[in-house]
Amino acid sequence: MLFFRQVATVAAKDLRSELRTKEALNASLSFALVILLLFSFAFSPTSDMTREISGGLLWLVFAFAGALILNRSFARELENDCLDALISSPVSSPALFLGKALANYVLLLGIEFVCLPVFGVFYNVSWAQQLPSLALVLVLASWGVSVVGTVFSALTVNMRLRELMLPMLVYPILIPCLMAAMQLTTPLLAGEPLTGDLFAWLRLLVGFDIIFTALAVVLIDTVLIG
Amino acid sequence: MRALAVEGVWKFYGDYPALRDIGFDVQPGQCVALLGRNGAGKTTLLRILAGLSRPSKGAVKVFDKDHLDRSARSAIGIIGHGIGIYDELSALENLRLFAGLYGLQSPDKAAHQWLERTGLERVKDGLVREFSRGMRQRLAVARAFLHRPQLLLLDEPFTALDDRAIALLQSLLKESLAQGSTVIMSTHQLREALELATHVVLINRGKLAHTGLRTQEMLDDPTYLYRTYGEA
């Protein structure tokens, strides 16, 4: 019980801090919207082409926008040596990690749900046809991005080029998660239901989330306490 | 039960040994001045004691439990180089956060109590980034004492504090010692540290140079320790 209370306390603290400063949120949201806008001008896609690239385009935007949120996750703890105060408190490293991952997850989902209608308008896509299935994909893939990104945010927090290092380290590991999300999102945006082969990608997403959450929880103590 | 047991601690940064086979015990109620020149390894040792770093070799026990154990951490209060306070939260939110993380029964009550104690009650809802330096320092002191720690680890605690914060910290330290808490304090301000200390630990280039009672000679001439056991 105490563990979950600590997770909630850390997540609430991170969300409150971010909603007050809006540093990562503003940067991430404006980046995502600008990229969506620029792509719509650059390609002026036909409806067939949109159908083919929609999943890939959306998840690339979400992945890059997510990196901006994830970069701030542990970096905000460097001011005033707050990370030391957190680590030396009786909060377990997994609780600290899950609290931060949860806050990043909420922020990332927020960005995604703002970007979806904008994507629908710019690319003339009826994105809400398979909304429950699409929401399921967003929920599962965003958790994978948040978990892996939060671990590497902790790992790179003391590096001088952390803004560069984080995406370089995170994206290769996220390939299975992003591939599954793209493969699932493309047909769902075209209005096709989740059937047959698509369930294999869904299982991959679930497996990725379970494996990387478990790995992160086991390894985070070593990452945080050198 | 020992408040702190440091057993053959080594710390390597690459091949360089920052700490070499450090070992000493601290009994409850003692106030230890951890002394040494710049680069001697005081901060490295304090970071290990605080659970912020692992020793490369050796072990640290806090009240007979591993220093990374949850209950050991609950017993420790730290004042380090940074204030450990969030600028974008209010004073009350900061103390409530740490009271919650330390699992205090009524975080709100504890937070208000310490805001009053440190003279910050009237600005409790103000964001810390709008505070003066002195107010931030007093809030950092409140954070360290909030959970009534049994072992206080202080790294250069009086450096960069204003007069009011120094007076507050000194009175809280004396009160904690009177209540049986243990204090380990690393500092360059020898006279102030030795006046408060019951014991001294001197580190010289990562090695334990001396450990024992604080004596009258040390009080009379604070450089006595360095001349006798360390580098002149």
> Which of A21-25, A193-197, B18-22, B203-207 is the least confident region?
A193-197
For chain B, what percent of residues have pLDDT higher than 70?
A: 99
pTM (two decimals): 0.91
Chain B residues lying within 8 Å of A88, measured CB to CB: 50-52, 73, 76, 78
Average pLDDT rounded to a whole number, residues B24-48: 93
pLDDT value of residue A45: 65
Q: Are B139 and B118 in contact (CB under 8 A)?
A: yes
Say yes or no to pLDDT of B231 above 70: no
pLDDT digits (tens, 9 = 90+) for A156-165: 998 888 888 9
pLDDT value of residue B200: 93
> Which of A73-82, A122-131, B46-55, B133-142 is the least confident region?
A122-131
All residues at 6 or more sequence positions from A175 whose CB lies less than 8 Å from its CB, including other chains:
none
* Average pLDDT across chain B, whole number: 91
Q: Is the dihedral of CA A93, A95, A98, A100 positive or negative?
A: negative
Mutate to test the interface with A, among B97, B128, B136 (most CBs of A within 10 A): B97
pLDDT value of residue B142: 94
Chain A residues lying within 8 Å of B82, measured CB to CB: 80-82, 84-85
* Average pLDDT across chain A, whole number: 92
**Cα distance between residue B76 and residue B79, in whole Å:** 10
Confidence grade of residue A222 (pLDDT, cut at 50, 70, 90): very high
Contact A86 B101 (CB under 8 A): yes
Residue of chain A whose Cα is closest to the Cα of B55: A226
Mutate to test the interface with A, among B60, B69, B70, B86 (most CBs of A within 10 A): B86
For B195, how many CA atoms within 13 A lie in the half-sphere containing its CB? 7
Contact A13 B97 (CB under 8 A): yes
Average pLDDT rounded to a whole number, residues A78-101: 94
Amino acid at position A61, single letter: V
Hey, what are B40's tokens? 């001697």
Residue with the bigger pLDDT between B115 and A159: it is B115
**Cα distance between residue B202 and residue B208, in whole Å:** 6
Q: Which H/E stretch holds residue B4? A: strand B4-13
**Cα distance between residue B55 and residue B213, in whole Å:** 26
> Which of B23-27, B70-74, B93-97 is the least confident region?
B70-74
Distance separating the N- and C-terminal Cα atoms of chain B: 36
Confidence grade of residue B11 (pLDDT, cut at 50, 70, 90): very high
Hey, what are B17's tokens? 């040994």
Q: Is B96 exposed, middle or buried (0-12, 13-18, 19+ CB in 10 A)?
A: buried
Say yes or no to pLDDT of B225 above 90: no
Judged by a CB distance cut-off of 8 A, whether residue A2 touches chain B is: yes
Say yes or no to pLDDT of B128 above 90: yes
pLDDT value of residue B220: 86
pLDDT value of residue B19: 96
**Cα distance between residue B78 and residue B140, in whole Å:** 9
pLDDT digits (tens, 9 = 90+) for B86-102: 999 999 999 999 999 99
pLDDT value of residue B232: 47
> Which of A32-46, A135-149, B123-137 is the least confident region?
A32-46
**Cα distance between residue B57 and residue B63, in whole Å:** 20
Q: Is B65 exposed, middle or buried (0-12, 13-18, 19+ CB in 10 A)?
A: middle
Average pLDDT rounded to a whole number, residues A181-209: 92
B205: left (phi over 0), alpha (psi -120 to 50) or beta: left
Chain B residues lying within 8 Å of A81, measured CB to CB: 80-84
Contact A90 B82 (CB under 8 A): no
Residue of chain A whose Cα is closest to the Cα of B128: A80
